[in-house]
Structure 1
Amino acid sequence: MPISTKPNLTVRREHPFNAETPAERLVAAMTTPTADFYVRNHGSMPEPDTATHRLSVGGMVEKPLDLDLATLEKDFERREVRALMQCAGNRRRDLLAVAPVAGDPWGPGALGNADWSGVSLADVLKAAGVKEGKGLHVAIDCLDECEMDGETFTYGVSIPLEKAMHPLTLIATGMNGEALTREHGAPMRIVAPGFAGARNAKWVRAITVQDHPSDNPIQRTEYKLFPSEITAETADPAKGMTIEPMPLNSAICIPANHANLKEGRTTVAGWAVSGSHPIARVELSLDGGRSWLQTELENDTDHPWSWTLWSIEVPLCVGDHELVARAFDAAGQTQPSLSDDTWNYKGYLENAWHRVHVVVG
């Protein structure tokens, strides 16, 4: 089946192929089935031969490595992590309601929670004799071909060496108990839990330890957060904040926006995520944020990089209602109330209260 005809996803763009998970599917289970998992591409979707694909490891290491998939899986301990992955543009559609922004109009479904398996990137770097130190970076070069501003190049990003050396930052070869699929980066990708999806590079072919971030255009100019007064014409990528960890966020998945509901008790459900501290509570308002109810949480306490699912049954009378969700983490932090407060011209990191309008009658 061609990737563009996948029935489980809502397609946001055909070329490159980008599609999100319908919101109601997200709350069906703690882990997102591979067929339901969002797909984010910046260019082509290569299909390398698993038997011949090789990974090089070099740069500031004592013993550069050249590994095929069989050697990678044979020589290094297999590790697993249940982790959320999320596009930095998730919920961008909410920012479009404030003012135009660049990028695909993602709803709240450009994320998913999966069981990833592979080998620890740290183990591979140690085998190469990595020279650890402050201010070092791990550049990741990939096979997918991108085009931007008339320039053609292969995708590449970097993550700080400290993140690369976390034992659960993986060179992943499996997802949800099966081998990676093509659209999710087969035969190997990076999984950097808590970091924006862009740093979880797919179709990896080379890893280089160096004293500066990647020079790739994706790293150099994309995924930069700017203040609201900055425009595409005035933006200086060197002054933008590089997006790595993702912020505290939540969304309503059921009911859908503009749903028509019957009077009576209704279940409201959604997700909550945090890049640093556990989710402590999620609150729901039935009146646009004037009063709040606490929801029931399904916390995946054995997997700290996982998301939290929440639900509540509420009475709804006849009329129009604005349902609003907000989350609090264990440090007492919460979300900003308005998308006006988070607007930026690239449409990144939207984490204002999530609002859904329903009609009961």
Structure 2
Amino acid sequence: MNLSERKKHLIVHGEAPYNAEPALDRLRAAFRTDADDFYVRSHGNLPEIDGGSYRLAIRGSVSTPLDLSIADLKARFDIVTVTAVMQCAGNRRYDMQAVAPVSGDPWAPGAIGNADWTGVRLADVLSAAGIDENADLHVAFECHDIVEGEDYPYGASIGLSKAMAPETLLAFAMNGKPLEPEHGFPLRAVVPGFAGVRSPKWLASITVQDQPSANPMQADDYKLFPPDVTEETADPAKGHTIETMPLNAAICEPSPGAKLKVGHNTVRGYAVAGDRNVVRVDVSCDGGRSWSQAQLEAEAKSPFAWTFWSIELDLNPGEHELVARAWDEAGQTQPSQPDDTWNYKGYLMASWHRVRVTAD
């Protein structure tokens, strides 16, 4: 069974490369997102890799280059599990289109998921390779997939401090099961708190070097620009490289255009804040003129996981604009309008999430 058939319940934005997200009620159904309901973001082909013969190469500014199988990783290093959100930098891009056209897939708020990732700490592997932890270095990933329409493999990099952070993994399992092919089998990076672009799948090699990766996916793409910059005028060297993801919240239920009953209705969604805590979610049924505070559901020992929220709203007959906004432990909240952060690539959409419904 091919990927499209296995994922026929997802909302597909592209067949080749395959890109798809779940319906939001399915996304909100479980704190840990099942692999079948997890969004898929691909930049090229889905590589076929034999797990038995697989090897990961560690090269560059290390004293002991390594070539490791999955069995080597499991035997030589502590196996750990981190609960963390994975989120595309273009999550909620669709909402920016109301301001002006943007490039890229029109993701709703479903280009996100939360899972238990199991693997080994990247820090432990780098230490075994003899890295200088005090140096100003970068850790570059190169992968087995080839970027669509290009002749180079996917690649990205992170700074050494994040690579050595205890939450950053080389993961071979998701929710207690081996990675599915579309999620990176046999091995992927998991860099909690960062955009999914920094958690490459199908790892081929890791190179420790004194500069960020020169791969076009790192050097030219996933850059944040101000609103006056266009695709024609964008200079990648002047763009902000997207790493940490912003505070965000989304309404998962009810869906846009839903017909609800008059009276009490349950509104549910998620909120994320990178490595910070979500401390409050406000919900409005009148477009943001008045607010009520939602109940939060979080795991104290999972700082990189999302927070679920829910609230009962008493709806009068007629149309309602439901709105959600989150607050983090620094007292920061979201911008009210997509105009405030619009950029031509539609990255980091994080304004109040709005859903129009009718009660009768």
What range is the shorter-chain TM-score in? over 0.9
Aligned ranges for residues 17-96 of structure 1 at < 5 Å? 17-96=18-97
Aligned ranges for residues 162-241 of structure 1 at < 5 Å? 162-241=161-240
Give the AA of the match of 1:272: A
Aligned ranges for residues 171-320 of structure 1 at < 5 Å? 171-320=170-319
Normalised TM-score (structure 2)? 0.98
Work out whether residues 172 and 189 of structure 1, in 8 Å CA contact, stay in contact via their aligned partners in 2.
yes
Work out whether residues 248 and 329 of structure 1, in 8 Å CA contact, stay in contact via their aligned partners in 2.
yes
Equivalents in 2 of 1:332, 1:167: separation in Å? 26
Where 1:147 maps in the other structure, the secondary structure is coil
Where 1:245 maps in the other structure, the secondary structure is coil
Where 2:171 maps in the other structure, the secondary structure is strand
Work out whether residues 21 and 111 of structure 1, in 8 Å CA contact, stay in contact via their aligned partners in 2.
no
Q: Which moved more, 1:125-134 or 1:309-318?
A: 125-134
**Structure 1: gaps of 5 or more residues:** none
Q: How many aligned positions are there? A: 359
Equivalents in 2 of 1:21, 1:125: separation in Å? 35
**Structure 2: gaps of 5 or more residues:** none
1:144 is matched with 145
Residues 1:355 and 2:354 are matched in the alignment: yes
Equivalents in 1 of 2:64, 2:131: separation in Å? 8
Work out whether residues 275 and 304 of structure 2, in 8 Å CA contact, stay in contact via their aligned partners in 1.
no
Work out whether residues 80 and 119 of structure 2, in 8 Å CA contact, stay in contact via their aligned partners in 1.
yes
Residues 1:346 and 2:345 are matched in the alignment: yes
Where 1:70 maps in the other structure, the secondary structure is helix
Equivalents in 1 of 2:164, 2:97: separation in Å? 37
Q: CA deviation at 1:136?
A: 1.1
Equivalents in 2 of 1:244, 1:137: separation in Å? 14
Q: CA deviation at 1:134?
A: 4.6
Q: Which moved more, 1:341-350 or 1:254-263?
A: 254-263
Give the AA of the match of 1:331: A
Equivalents in 2 of 1:277, 1:305: separation in Å? 8
Equivalents in 2 of 1:38, 1:246: separation in Å? 17
Give the AA of the match of 2:26: R
RMSD of Structure 2 on Structure 1 (CA): 0.9
- Displaced runs of 4 or more, over 2 A: 132-135
Aligned ranges for residues 88-127 of structure 1 at < 5 Å? 88-127=89-128
Work out whether residues 88 and 198 of structure 1, in 8 Å CA contact, stay in contact via their aligned partners in 2.
yes
1:4 is matched with 4
Work out whether residues 17 and 148 of structure 2, in 8 Å CA contact, stay in contact via their aligned partners in 1.
no
Work out whether residues 228 and 344 of structure 1, in 8 Å CA contact, stay in contact via their aligned partners in 2.
yes
Equivalents in 2 of 1:8, 1:131: separation in Å? 47
Q: CA deviation at 1:178?
A: 0.5
Work out whether residues 147 and 153 of structure 1, in 8 Å CA contact, stay in contact via their aligned partners in 2.
no
Work out whether residues 325 and 355 of structure 1, in 8 Å CA contact, stay in contact via their aligned partners in 2.
yes
Q: Which moved more, 1:173-182 or 1:3-12?
A: 3-12
Where 2:59 maps in the other structure, the secondary structure is strand
Q: CA deviation at 1:121?
A: 0.4
Work out whether residues 79 and 168 of structure 1, in 8 Å CA contact, stay in contact via their aligned partners in 2.
no
Equivalents in 2 of 1:186, 1:78: separation in Å? 17
Q: CA deviation at 1:210?
A: 0.4
1:323 is matched with 322
Q: Note the alpha carbon deviations across 1:180-201, whole angstroms, 9 max, x for none.
A: 1100000000000001000010
Equivalents in 2 of 1:138, 1:290: separation in Å? 47
Q: Note the alpha carbon deviations across 1:304-359, whole angstroms, 9 max, x for none.
A: 11000000011111111100000000110000000011110000000000000001
Equivalents in 2 of 1:14, 1:114: separation in Å? 24
Equivalents in 1 of 2:130, 2:64: separation in Å? 6
Equivalents in 1 of 2:122, 2:236: separation in Å? 28
Equivalents in 2 of 1:76, 1:187: separation in Å? 17
Where 2:148 maps in the other structure, the secondary structure is strand
Q: CA deviation at 1:147?
A: 3.1
